[in-house]
Chain A
Amino acid sequence: MNGDVYVRAVGVVTAAGTGIPALASALARADWQATLSLERPDAPPLPVAVCRDFSTQGHLPPMVARRLDRPARLLAVAAREALGTVGEPFPWPRDEVGVTAGTANAGTEALVEVLKAVFLASPEEAPPMQFPSTVANAPASQLAILEKFGGPNLTFAEKQAGGLRAVVEAGRLLGRRRAAAVLACGVDEAQWLNAEAYHRLRFTRRSASGPGAILGEGAAVLLLSSSPGDAPLARLAGWGAAAVPTATHLYPSSGEPLARAIMLALEHSGAATRDVDLLLSLHSGAPRLARLETEALASALGQRRPAAMAVTDRLGEGAFSSALRALVAVLALGGAPIAWPPPPHLATLGFPGLSHPPRTALVTALAGGGSAVAAVLTAP
């Protein structure tokens, strides 16, 4: 990597609530679980971890909030939390602050609304105000417009790996000096059509307590810069990515691309497997994903058994969730008390829970279609 990349601040909205304190409070309770339910217009609800009490009140002026769609609101509120902690004067010229975002479904609700008008009314009824929100880069762009950030504004689509992709691409932008600071984000909205598709593909749980993944919504923001500032939260030490040809809606048949991504990330960061003392598992509840992770870790970490924890099986799967794992790693590196245990498939293999603040965390993501991303974060 060209130069150091530091995590300067974080902000979040999840089903656990708005803000880092709400997330930290949930992480400290071993028994915390999200309420799972997403309404559909004409069918039973689906088990999705929705940001049920989310409101922009106190975070965004009402006139501003009204202009934004839900993903942009989630992102703007999370970003404001991160930006609020860097202090005044703002440390970077706004034209040099970039945004990278990963999303799996931003724009879907607007898309459905526009097409509903076209199909059920007439083409003339297509709502011009909603059309711009159908593009996946709308939340990141809205954020830049709101905060007047003129740096690179890039959105990445890599399904479940999109959020972590945004984090590592922020690192690349900083390394190439294309920006002085970057808000690296993951954002998704709970959207009934998207949830229904996953449900029908049998990827998600058939009931709130059954096996399978749950989808979620939220926004996770990591503010990265190449300068450490007074109190950096963590350092993005390195990353790796790999892929294997796979049907776009399926996970790969083996954990090989994930193992390759992990090994590249370790090499890139200069860390050895023995240095890793926290693994943010990508476990979402999907049994197939657990098998692939087990296979990849056996190949990449050998006998090494760092502390492990999962958040995606409680807060929901999506592109935002891989950025959220990076954010939780940052909290853990900072010593936040975390009571969430390792996922069952890793506990069985002897991966312990987190008992003391780690120094080096490994965060991974694997997407349908066979793309994998891994990142190494270290205590500053």
Chain B
Amino acid sequence: MAEVWITGIGLVTALGCDRETTWSRLLRGESGVAPLRLFDTTGYRTHLAAQVDDSCLTLPSVAAAALRHASRTSRLGIAAAAEALTDAGLPIQAGVKHPWGVVFGGGSAGLFEAEEFLRRRLRHGHRTRALNEFLEVPQDASTDRVAEAFSLAGPRVTVTTACSSSTVAVGLAAEMVAHGETEVALAGGADGLCRLTFAGFNSLRAVDAEPAKPFDRRRKGLNLGEGAAVLILESAERARARGARPYARVLGYGVTADAFHMTQPDASGAAWERTVRAALADAGVTPDQVDYINAHGTATEQNDPAEVAAYVRVFAEHLARIAVSSVKGALGHCLCGAGGIEAAITALAVARAMVPPTAGFAEPDPACPVDAVPGAGRPWPIRVALSSSFAFGGNSAALVLGKVA
């Protein structure tokens, strides 16, 4: 089984159209959460979200044909993939099919555009025009779009496990590379804001009308976000041979279900604990080797203590010296794209020995006894890091990344 390296990262978030802008603003403790401009929020509990600037969606380096009728989510994915491929030094040659796989977490896909179609369809009947707005409804549409944009002919998988989708996707992609199913995989995911998720999370009263405060005793809920991340995964042998620079190694992943409730986590964190233990076992590392946890940290009342309860049990006395931060205070909860974005942030943290802060966190909650990295990022040597996600349906997943020796 081959060692798997992350050799390229592309990021598009509310903090920036690219990896370095996102990373530097994240370290400064800035937040991309602001009044939502994408659609009218009259009547909702919150008017805030972490929206990507529209300028990030104009992609001069990508052929116009590949973007024709592309949804907002697909454009996010294509932008992140373009940056990741360039970063990895894998140029895309026109007219050449590349045998690389795409493993993405899929969620809202083209739903934002389809909502417009549906609105008209509900009012005007079955002859409603502009069916093209409906074509990217399948959750794998953005995966297809990325493959089409860059002529990728390797295996293509779309995981759709809600908020853990792209965490699983990175783990699965690493497994496929490790076992030689594909020499290179573009792994991650994209998710765009839309009315469905905005209305849904509002109706569940899971949102905060103010900027979210993960792990903070004042937390009241999450802010939704959007974005995309693509990680280029390849074997260490292949990367070395072509002189590629690694960010981190993918050591393993774990995935379980809590079989408890569709929207609420088991407060004991028991299933989350099983996930983390499974991930560490898969990676072949022990709790004392972990230096950083990029937490799910949604800032909902139920999520944060359940998550921390799992860490307390798994890491015991070691937790006191582990930095635990959530980027959702800065980037919003990007749902099916969140895990990929957080994996990318975690890989950057490992490579640069810096941990990002938890934007919004200021007042510790006794129910969440972790070093949540308030304020700004801090230098932090990392041997092993964990990136953790939890999803509707009780699905949790955790990735283990390590420093390349």
Do chains A and B interact in one complex? Answer: yes
Residues of A with Cβ closer than 8 Å to B?
40, 42-43, 94-95, 98-99, 104, 108, 111-112, 114-120, 122-124, 126-128, 131-138, 140-142, 144-145, 147-159, 165, 169, 172, 176, 178, 193, 196-197, 200-201, 241-249, 257, 367-371
Q: Is B155 an interface residue (CB 8 A)?
A: yes
State whether B134 touches A244 (Cβ < 8 A).
no
The residue from B153, B156, B161 contacting A153, defined by CB atoms under 8 A apart: B161
Tell me which of B162, B172, B391 has the highest count of chain A C-beta atoms within 10 A of its own C-beta: B162
The residue from A43, A132, A367, A369 contacting B262, defined by CB atoms under 8 A apart: A132
A246 / chain B contacts, CB cutoff of 8 Å: 144, 148
Given contacts A42-B125, A95-B274, A141-B392, contact A172 B138 (CB under 8 A): no
State whether B261 touches A248 (Cβ < 8 A).
no
Tell me which of A140, A145, A169, A367 has the highest count of chain B C-beta atoms within 10 A of its own C-beta: A145
State whether A114 touches B157 (Cβ < 8 A).
no
A to B CB contacts below 8 Å, 23 in the list: A43-B125, A114-B203, A115-B115, A118-B195, A119-B119, A126-B203, A131-B204, A135-B392, A137-B392, A137-B393, A141-B392, A141-B395, A155-B161, A157-B106, A157-B158, A157-B159, A158-B156, A243-B152, A243-B153, A243-B154, A245-B97, A367-B140, A369-B140
Contact mask B68-97 → A, CB, 8 Å, 1/0?
Answer: 000000000000000000000000000001
Choose, from B211-219, B227-235, B251-259, B353-361, the stretch at the interface.
B251-259
Q: Is B200 an interface residue (CB 8 A)?
A: yes
B162 / chain A contacts, CB cutoff of 8 Å: 135, 137
Q: How far is the CA of A245 from the CA of B146 in the complex (A)?
A: 9
B160 / chain A contacts, CB cutoff of 8 Å: 135-137, 155-157
Q: How far is the CA of A245 from the CA of B154 in the complex (A)?
A: 9
Residues of B with Cβ closer than 8 Å to A?
42-44, 97, 102, 106-107, 111, 115, 118-119, 121-123, 125-126, 131, 134-141, 143-145, 147-148, 150-162, 168, 172, 175, 195-196, 199-205, 255-263, 271, 274, 278, 282, 391-395
State whether A155 touches B159 (Cβ < 8 A).
yes
A200 / chain B contacts, CB cutoff of 8 Å: 131
Given contacts A124-B43, A140-B393, A145-B262, contact A248 B257 (CB under 8 A): no
Main secondary structure of the interface of A (DSSP, over half): mixed
A178 / chain B contacts, CB cutoff of 8 Å: 255, 278, 282
The residue from A147, A153, A245 contacting B147, defined by CB atoms under 8 A apart: A245
Q: How far is the CA of A119 from the CA of B143 in the complex (A)?
A: 29
Q: How far is the CA of A301 from the CA of B199 in the complex (A)?
A: 51
Q: How far is the CA of A156 from the CA of B160 in the complex (A)?
A: 6
State whether B257 touches A123 (Cβ < 8 A).
no
Q: How far is the CA of A169 from the CA of B139 in the complex (A)?
A: 17
A151 / chain B contacts, CB cutoff of 8 Å: 256-257
The 4 residue pairs across chains A and B that have the minimum distance between CB atoms: A141-B393, A131-B200, A369-B144, A157-B139
Q: How far is the CA of A68 from the CA of B43 in the complex (A)?
A: 29
Closest to A1 in B: B179
State whether B126 touches A145 (Cβ < 8 A).
no
Q: How far is the CA of A145 from the CA of B195 in the complex (A)?
A: 28
State whether A114 touches B196 (Cβ < 8 A).
yes
B153 / chain A contacts, CB cutoff of 8 Å: 242-245, 257
Q: How far is the CA of A188 from the CA of B182 in the complex (A)?
A: 30
State whether A193 touches B118 (Cβ < 8 A).
yes
State whether A154 touches B255 (Cβ < 8 A).
yes
Tell me which of A94, A111, A114, A135 has the highest count of chain B C-beta atoms within 10 A of its own C-beta: A135
Q: How far is the CA of A207 from the CA of B64 in the complex (A)?
A: 38
State whether A123 touches B202 (Cβ < 8 A).
yes
Tell me how far the C-beta of A35 lies from the nearest C-beta in chain B, rounded to whole angstroms: 22
Q: How far is the CA of A165 from the CA of B176 in the complex (A)?
A: 14
State whether A122 touches B43 (Cβ < 8 A).
yes
Q: How far is the CA of A371 from the CA of B258 in the complex (A)?
A: 31
A157 / chain B contacts, CB cutoff of 8 Å: 106, 138-140, 158-160
**Known interface pairs A137-B391, A154-B161; 8 further A-B residue pairs with C-beta atoms within 8 A, sorted by A's residue number:** A43-B126, A123-B42, A123-B43, A132-B393, A135-B392, A145-B260, A158-B140, A247-B148
Q: How far is the CA of A199 from the CA of B255 in the complex (A)?
A: 38
Q: How far is the CA of A269 from the CA of B43 in the complex (A)?
A: 57
Q: How far is the CA of A115 from the CA of B255 in the complex (A)?
A: 31
Q: How far is the CA of A144 from the CA of B260 in the complex (A)?
A: 8
A257 / chain B contacts, CB cutoff of 8 Å: 153
A116 / chain B contacts, CB cutoff of 8 Å: 122
A43 / chain B contacts, CB cutoff of 8 Å: 125-126
State whether B156 touches A371 (Cβ < 8 A).
yes
State whether B393 touches A111 (Cβ < 8 A).
no
